Amino acid sequence: MVKALSLGVTVSADGVDYIVRNPGCCDLVFDATSAKSHLEHAPILKKLGKRVIDLTPAKVGLMSVPSVNLADSLAEINVNMVTCGGQASIPVAYAIGQTQTDVDYIEVVSSIASRSAGPATRQNLDEYIKTTEDGLKEFSGAKRTKAILNLNPAEPCVDMQATIFAKVKAPDIGKLSDVLKGLVEKIRQYVPGYEVILGPIIENDRIVVMVRVRGLGDYLPAYAGNLDIINCAAIAMAEEYAKAAGNQHSERDG
Amino acid sequence: MLERKIVISDPTLRDGNHAVRHELRVEQIAAYCEAADAACVSIVEVGHGNGLGASSLQLGESATPDHIALATARAHLKTSKLGIHVIPGFATIERDLKPALEQGVDVVRVASHCTEADICERHISFSRSMGVEVWGCLMMSHMISPALLLEQARKMESYGAEGVVFMDSSGHYIPDDVRQRVEALVDGLSIAVGFHGHNNLGLAVANSIVAADSGATLLDACARGFGAGAGNTQLEVLVAVLERLGYSTGIDLYKMLDAADLAEKILMKVIPTISSVSVVSGMAGVFSGFMRPVTRIAHEFGVDPRDVFFELGRRKIVAGQEDLILEVAKELAVRTVKGCQ
């Protein structure tokens, strides 16, 4: 808050109440509270006509992963950024869905540094799992999905990693690698620290891909790639909104 | 003398699943439950080695899905309570815990790594609200001091746990370690204290006895020590020793010995034994799942896997940091070369 004040940004500790009292203060709201809180905030913000980028796993609006469905998300007034594990793994799951037939099962195991998990994350583990599983299913078309989250207390802190396993009928690794490469390039435009560190390979008759997400290390430490990836995705989304709004203005002006 | 009571919680059909890649089947679950029930074991825990909802490609898929394992156990337990192990991050309340409770689970044990008790809040308070018996479990507990362990256990108490079990997941403790921790917990908590031992250093029974002597009222143990690696505290031995010491467990010793014979016959491919690597991983206090990667990588770098284990222990490596094995082996390889010159 001190940092924000030093940049001349208006700050309040009153949460959504401040926006209700000062509806002119913003056009767009990033909600980074908790799933439970966002369920209360969403109707209030809708009434105020605010665009909302929801960073909790409340899943009120369309699930949005910028590298996959940026264009669709633009039409929505409330988009949900799924979860950090979802932002890291859904592009891979999407690539699997696009290139493989009969995707029976996708499993994602995410490990994050204990220090990067605040109280809301710890309270929201169940919502995290449910929302990540729903996102994986929706973007890959897999029949069954499973998400697991490990908090790793190791020191020095571990980087965020996600391992994606898939059971498909006849794995086509060549096709998957090609599509994945393109997606990874897109992701790296907004999350430069995103990289595939293993795979895609076939091990034990299943596809395995491991990704690591290192944060920018600008404000949050670099190991907190989980926080960075969802923040960066939300910012990428907001920038698209801003561009779209800018275009509308120039059309009107012209 | 007042008879001192110890509750025995038996995770043979849960921790033992680690030893057989989570392949325990309905017939095995049914037969062992019947035998443990006949022996009047207080609590019989059933499920995937990592608990409810943990069947996965990452950790191994259960041959018997949770709901079938629970239904089988429920049907064959008359006096023993049915227990489950629940790790938040794997098991969710809606998908896993609610259905399990509907199947008649009596005891829910919500577990986390020893520093992460706060991820257990919702699972503990939910289970309490459903009226079942709830324990918190702190795994890999040797990695923090007695004072920090108490701090984490207090959180579990504040969420509604009726007791806290601290787990010697790596089989690292010597009796004094256990005494200090039990004393700290008994002193600082107003709820029951339990201990879960592993036998890497051959001390699981001795440690459990020290726990009881220091004020713990619940002990975990498995028939024939059935569990991963060096195995758990051996249940039938523990019961016998407790009997000699004048503790009452409510267990019928002959029937417990029969149950252990049955377990040996129908559950395990090999009886858990303390291998040389188990001794080292226990001494080093390293997660037993590192055994295979350490052996492989040490071989690749031409270093002694025992040195790798001790170095990993010194660095307080936890599960999920497998990448550091490589780093440690590389460093040791460099040092070895220098040593030769």
Domains and CATH numbers, chain B: 4-266 (3.20.20.70), 276-340 (1.10.8.60)
- The domain that contains A240 carries what CATH number? 3.40.50.720
- Looking at residue A218, its pLDDT comes to 77
Query: What local confidence, expressed as pLDDT, does residue B225 receive?
Result: 97
Looking at the domain assignment, is residue A94 inside a domain?
yes
The confidence score (pLDDT) of residue B2 equals 54
Interface contact flag, B58 A109, Cβ < 8 Å: yes
Residues of B within 8 A of A109 (CB-CB) are: 56, 58
Same domain for A68 and A90, yes or no, is no
Q: Which residue has the higher pLDDT, A202 or B217?
A: B217
Beta-strand pair B192-196/B218-220: parallel
Q: pLDDT, tens digit, for every residue of A161-218?
A: 899 999 999 899 999 999 999 999 999 988 888 999 888 988 878 899 999 988 877 7
Local confidence band at B170 (pLDDT 50, 70, 90 cut-offs): very high
Given this model, what pLDDT does residue B51 score? 95
Amino acid (one-letter) located at B270: V
My answer on whether A203 and A116 are in the same domain is: yes
Residue with tokens 């071989």: B299
**Residue B164 binned pLDDT confidence (cut-offs 50, 70, 90):** very high
Average pLDDT over residues A131-155: 91
- Kindly state whether residue A8 falls inside one of the protein's structural domains: yes
Q: Average pLDDT of A53-63?
A: 88
- CB of B181 closer than 8 Å to CB of B147: no
Q: Are A90 and A139 in contact (CB under 8 A)?
A: yes
Dihedral sign, Cα of residue B26, residue B32, residue B37, residue B43: negative
Out of A107, A150, A155, the one facing B320 most closely (by C-beta) is A150
Q: Are residues A179 and A53 in the same domain?
A: no
Residue A226 lies in a domain: no
Note whether A146 contacts B: Cβ–Cβ < 8 A: yes
Tokens (6 digits) for B166: 């601290």
Q: Would A59 be classed as within a structural domain?
A: yes
Same domain, A88 and A208: yes
When pLDDT is cut at 50, 70 and 90, the band that residue A91 belongs to is very high
Q: Looking at the structure, tell me whether residues A96 and A44 fall in a common domain.
A: no
Mean pLDDT of chain B: 93
> Can you spell out the DSSP letters for A165-187?
EEEESS--HHHHHHHHHHHHHHH
Q: How many whole angstroms separate alpha carbon B205 and alpha carbon B339?
A: 41
Output the pTM of the full model: 0.89
Q: Could you give the angle at the alpha carbon of B38 between the alpha carbons of B65 and B257, nearest 5°?
A: 100
Put residue A49 in one of left, alpha, beta given phi > 0 → left and psi -120 to 50 → alpha: left
The DSSP output letter for A113 is E
What does the pLDDT read at residue B328? 86
Q: Kindly state whether residue A14 falls inside one of the protein's structural domains.
A: yes
Q: B88 preceded by cis ω (within 30°)?
A: no
Q: Residues near A189 by Cβ (< 8 Å), separated by ≥ 6? A: A236
Query: Is B18 annotated as catalytic?
Result: yes
A130 with B94: Cβ contact below 8 A: yes
Average pLDDT (A107-131) is: 88
Query: What SS3 string covers B176-206?
Result: HHHHHHHHHHHHHCCCEEEEECECCCCCHHH
**Domain contains A24:** yes
Helix axes B276-284, B305-314, angle to 10 degrees: 20
Are residue A130 and residue A45 in the same domain, yes or no? no
Mark whether A179 and A105 lie in a shared domain. yes
Map residue A210 onto helix, strand or coil: strand
Q: Is A175 touching B (CB cutoff 8 A)? A: no
| Cα A183–chain centre separation | 14
Confidence of residue B341 (pLDDT cuts 50, 70, 90): very low
Assess whether A119 and A167 both reside in one domain: yes
Convert chain B into a string of H (helix), E (strand) and C (coil). Answer: CCCEECEEEEEHHHHHHHHCCCCCCHHHHHHHHHHHHHCCCCEEEECCCCCCCCCECCCECCCCCHHHHHHHHHHHCCCCEEEEEECECCECHHHHHHHHHHCCCCEEEEEEECCCHHHHHHHHHHHHHCCCEEEEEEECHHHCCHHHHHHHHHHHHHHCCCEEEEECCCCCCCHHHHHHHHHHHHHHCCCEEEEECECCCCCHHHHHHHHHHHCCCEEECEHHHCCCCCCECEHHHHHHHHHHHCEECCCCHHHHHHHHHHHHHHCCCCCCCCCHHHHHHHHHCCCHHHHHHHHHHHHHHCCCHHHHHHHHHHCCCCCCCCHHHHHHHHHHHHHHHHHHC
> What is the distance of C-alpha B329 from the center of its chain?
29
Q: In this structure, are A72 and A124 located in the same domain?
A: no
Q: A130, B57: Cβ pair inside 8 Å? A: no
Say if the Cβ atoms of B119 and A122 lie within 8 Å: yes
A76 & A170 share domain = no
From chain B, pick out residues whose CB is under 8 angstroms from the CB of A163: 58
Q: How many CB pairs under 8 A join A and B?
A: 67
**Interval B85-97 mean pLDDT:** 96
* pLDDT band at residue B255 under the 50/70/90 scheme: very high
Q: What is the CATH number of the domain that holds A173?
A: 3.30.360.10
Give the confidence band of A250 by pLDDT, cuts at 50, 70, 90: low
Report the number of distinct structural domains present in chain A. Answer: 2
Chain-wide mean pLDDT for chain A?
87
Q: Are residues A37 and A100 in the same domain?
A: no
Instruction: Give the minimum alpha-carbon distance from A131 to chain B in angstroms, rounded to a whole number.
Output: 12
Instruction: Tell whether A23 and A49 lie within a shared domain.
Output: yes
Which of residues B174 and A3 earns the better pLDDT score? B174
* Residue count (chain A): 254
Structural domain for A30, as ranges: 2-80+233-253
Would you say residue B58 has pLDDT above 70?
yes
Q: ipTM score of the complex? A: 0.86
DSSP-assigned beta bridge partners for residue B192: B163
